[in-house]
Amino acid sequence: MQIDYTMFYIEANIVCIILFAIMLYREAATVGRQAKQVVFINLAISYILYFSSDIIWVLILGEVIPRTQFTASLVNYSNAILLSAITACWFIYVELSQGVSYITIFKNRIIAFIPAMAEVVIMAVLFIFFPGLALTADYEMSDLYYVFFITIPTLYIIASSIRSFTRAFKKENYAVRTQYILCAVYPVVITIFGIIQTMWLEAPVFCFGCTIMMVYIYIISLNDQVSIDELTRLNNRTQLTKYVMSEHTRPGGDRATHYVLMIDLNKFKQINDVYGHVEGDMALRRTADALKVACAGLTIRSFIARYGGDEFIVILKTDDEPTITALCTSIKNTLVKMNSDAAAAYELTASVGYASYVGDIKEFQSAVAKADEALYEDKKAGRAGQK
């Protein structure tokens, strides 16, 4: 390998390391980090270490560092376990980003990391006790090494891609479909970059590809922080305003009929006071899931957001009022059923009110006020029915 290319390859990796270090610094400086942010930090560290290890390997190939069994084994062992760590962290990061409940439990994140940890052990045994199987006579990687090198990362990649694609095309996830598809495509694109570099080492496309894609995903993650409610994974009020404005500016949007549904939980304060705020949070998440399930059965697109506290809002573009009344009933019934299926120790019911509007944000705000009035009429009717 020529010295000029060696230096170019090193410089490319250093640039990528700096970009990951910037993202790492910002996340590490965040107060009160969530599990997703902790996993992202681990992911960034794994990338930085992988690129650093790759720099050493290029120095070996460029004959700047002597190629011996020790140096070849050390670098290629590092590359293998770091690639597994990267793909494992990515899988867990995607699961957390998409609000999958099981992965929020620390023990389950450890279980998800078991295949990567297994590769650490397998590679250690291979290089320590059977170095002749891992490296060729001139200290190149053997075919057996490549089998172990790609197997575990491939499993993580396939799992994260399939799960993301599957979720992307569920009706209740239409609002975040682009993000889900990106999460599904990302590891596939990175794999293609890796294959290209393996077949054509005259360009450091892997480090560039990883960094460009990760920066883009990081930007989307930052956008989610200002547009997605962290607890329920629904849209927040900022995103609600953007949605209403975007609907108004669509062709014919200033004349299209929309319905606004306001949903409020009954006796939510009592759930918090008696069962604690952890159960209160579970009730809010369950309500968000019930709204998604109820709206998923519609043939028209819906926009769902957490309006604040235990209030939620749904917007639908339609002039069919019977569909709206049926949805109100479906929301109530779905919430009761899901709470019963969860064997919760408390009742979880909701009151719903709706109103229509045609026009811009001012008309929308007027409709929200009317829907709020209808909501409290529904709440009073529910209380009267319990007497």
Summarised one tens digit per residue, pLDDT across range 135-154 is 888 888 888 998 888 899 99
Determine the 3-state secondary structure of 264 from DSSP: strand
Would you say residue 172 has pLDDT above 70?
no
CA angle 90/95/98 to nearest 5° reads: 120
Given pLDDT bands bounded at 50, 70 and 90, which one contains residue 252? low
Given pLDDT bands bounded at 50, 70 and 90, which one contains residue 241? confident
Give me the CATH topology for the region 3-227: Rhopdopsin 7-helix transmembrane proteins (1.20.1070)
pTM, two decimal places: 0.72
Mean pLDDT of the 287-299 span: 88
> pLDDT tens digits for 72-121?
999 999 999 999 999 999 999 989 888 787 888 889 999 999 999 999 99
Residue type, 316: L
Look at phi and psi of residue 265 and say left if phi exceeds 0, alpha if psi is from -120 to 50, else beta.
Answer: beta
Give the pLDDT confidence score for residue 202 in this predicted structure: 62
Give the pLDDT confidence score for residue 31 in this predicted structure: 60
Would you say residue 273 has pLDDT above 80?
yes
- 122-to-38, 126, 134, 149, 375 alpha-carbon distances in Å: 27, 6, 11, 10, 61
Residue ranges matching CATH 1.20.1070.10 in the chain? 3-227
Would you say residue 2 has pLDDT above 60?
no
> pLDDT tens digits for 343-374?
889 999 999 999 999 877 788 999 999 999 99
Please count the other Cβ atoms lying within 10 Å of the Cβ belonging to residue 206: 24
Give the pLDDT confidence score for residue 387 in this predicted structure: 53
Would you say residue 188 has pLDDT above 90?
no
Q: What is the dihedral of CA 45, 47, 51, 54, to 10 degrees?
A: 110
> pLDDT tens digits for 20-79?
999 998 888 776 667 888 888 999 999 999 999 989 988 888 888 898 999 999 999 999
Given pLDDT bands bounded at 50, 70 and 90, which one contains residue 243? confident
Would you say residue 329 has pLDDT above 60?
yes
Domain 237-386: CATH class, spelled out: alpha beta
Give the pLDDT confidence score for residue 206 in this predicted structure: 83
User: Could you tell me which residue, 224 or 378, shows the higher pLDDT?
Assistant: 378
Would you say residue 5 has pLDDT above 80?
no
Give the separation between CA 269 and CA 74, rounded to whole angstroms. 58
Give the separation between CA 156 and CA 148, rounded to whole angstroms. 13
Residue ranges matching CATH 3.30.70.270 in the chain? 237-386
Give the separation between CA 58 and CA 14, rounded to whole angstroms. 13
Give the pLDDT confidence score for residue 175 in this predicted structure: 61
CA angle 74/79/84 to nearest 5° reads: 130
User: Could you tell me which residue, 265 or 248, shows the higher pLDDT?
Assistant: 265
Q: Could you give the residue ranges of the DSSP H alpha helices within 29-68?
A: 35-61
Given pLDDT bands bounded at 50, 70 and 90, which one contains residue 227? confident
